[in-house]
Amino acid sequence: MLSNQKFGVVGFPWDGGASLGRPGSRYAPSKIREAFVWFVNRIENNQVYNVEKRQTYQLADNGIKDFGDIDIAAYSTDVTFRNAEEKIRGLLDDNVFPFVLGGDHSISYPVIKALHDKTEGKIGIIQFDAHLDLVDESPIQGKFSQSSQMRRALELPRINPENIVQIGVRSINYPWYENYLKESGIVQITAREVHKSTPEEVVAKTMAAMKDVEKIYLTFDIDVLDPAYAPGSGANEPGGLTPVQCMEMLDMLYSKVDAFDIAEVNPLYDHQDITTTFAARIMFDCAVARLSK
């Protein structure tokens, strides 16, 4: 799935869906870009050395391009999401790999829809997240909140629950989830199950659920990390994953996915850019993996 010629960075500075979580993630794209410069500085003559893998990577010439931000219509979720779909479809038309910087987690839906609408076959979704994000429409949150993007994605014709894998989910939630999850067939690997497994085992189970899909979407909610590692998030949910666990799993997935977003980074609650720097590291690792010759 490494046919893309460009690694396209797109900002989605939207937190209009932060109906229960903390608003402020609209500021994340600019902060992540700032932190990203720190990593890009290590590239010399289109080469970069990975200390942990003891390997130098030759990158494609001018492979990373920033395509700016989604046009935000602060008065309208519908208009904003249509703008997002249009921009992402344009990147896919131009054979660009979209790496989208949210924004609260509602931003995933229009990006998923853009990939879905450009694909004839099934779409698989890999979701790193503390939360399930399967809430249907409610008087408090509406239909397109940070808690609903996966529910909306399941309404698209070629996205089936057995092709959705949720990694790192945890904590206590609404009682209706028990029957819903049993009936739907969504694959879940809880945070404690991740801790009891190896990254290789988690990825193997994940990819088994992707065996009959044409394209794979990966969404990374920063709150999949334990709050100790990611204080700047939309919500604190104790008992999460470690950076190393996530990085090892992601390393095995970067080359297998067709679009990627990072959501719920919230600079207003961050400390010394800990969270934004980790998000930028993920983006850089993904770029290196996809642009290495």
Mean pLDDT value across residues 229-236:
96
The Cα–Cα gap between 35 and 70 comes to 20
Note whether residue 221 is domain-resident: yes
**pLDDT value for 1:** 54
Mean pLDDT value across residues 198-217:
98
195 is in an annotated binding site: no
Mean pLDDT value across residues 19-35:
95
271 is in an annotated binding site: no
Mean pLDDT value across residues 190-201:
98
Lowest mean pLDDT among 50-59, 83-92, 142-151: 142-151
Note whether residue 244 is domain-resident: yes
pLDDT tens across 129-187, in order?
999 998 898 887 778 788 889 999 999 999 999 999 999 999 999 898 999 999 999 99
**pLDDT value for 139:** 81
**pLDDT value for 72:** 98
Domain count, the chain: 1
Q: Over 90: is that where the pLDDT of 251 sits?
A: yes
The Cα–Cα gap between 30 and 220 comes to 18
Q: Residue 78 sits in a domain of what CATH number? A: 3.40.800.10
Confidence of residue 107 (pLDDT cuts 50, 70, 90): very high
b vs e for 102-132, b when ≥16 Cβ sit within 10 Å of the residue's Cβ?
Answer: bbbbbbbbbbbbbbbebbeebbbbbbbbbbb
221 is in an annotated binding site: yes
105 is in an annotated binding site: yes
131 is in an annotated binding site: yes
129 is in an annotated binding site: yes
146's tokens = 């940070």
* Contact residues for 243 (Cβ-Cβ < 8 A; gap 6+): 225, 229, 278
For the entire predicted model, the pTM comes to 0.96
Beta carbons within 10 angstroms of residue 143's beta carbon: 15
Note whether residue 59 is domain-resident: yes
Note whether residue 238 is domain-resident: yes
**pLDDT value for 21:** 83
Note whether residue 1 is domain-resident: no
The Cα–Cα gap between 68 and 33 comes to 11
CB 223 within 8 A of CB 233: yes
Note whether residue 279 is domain-resident: yes
pLDDT higher at 147 or 111: 111
**pLDDT value for 3:** 57
3-state SS assignment for residue 164: strand
Range of the domain at 91: 6-291
Note whether residue 86 is domain-resident: yes
Note whether residue 152 is domain-resident: yes
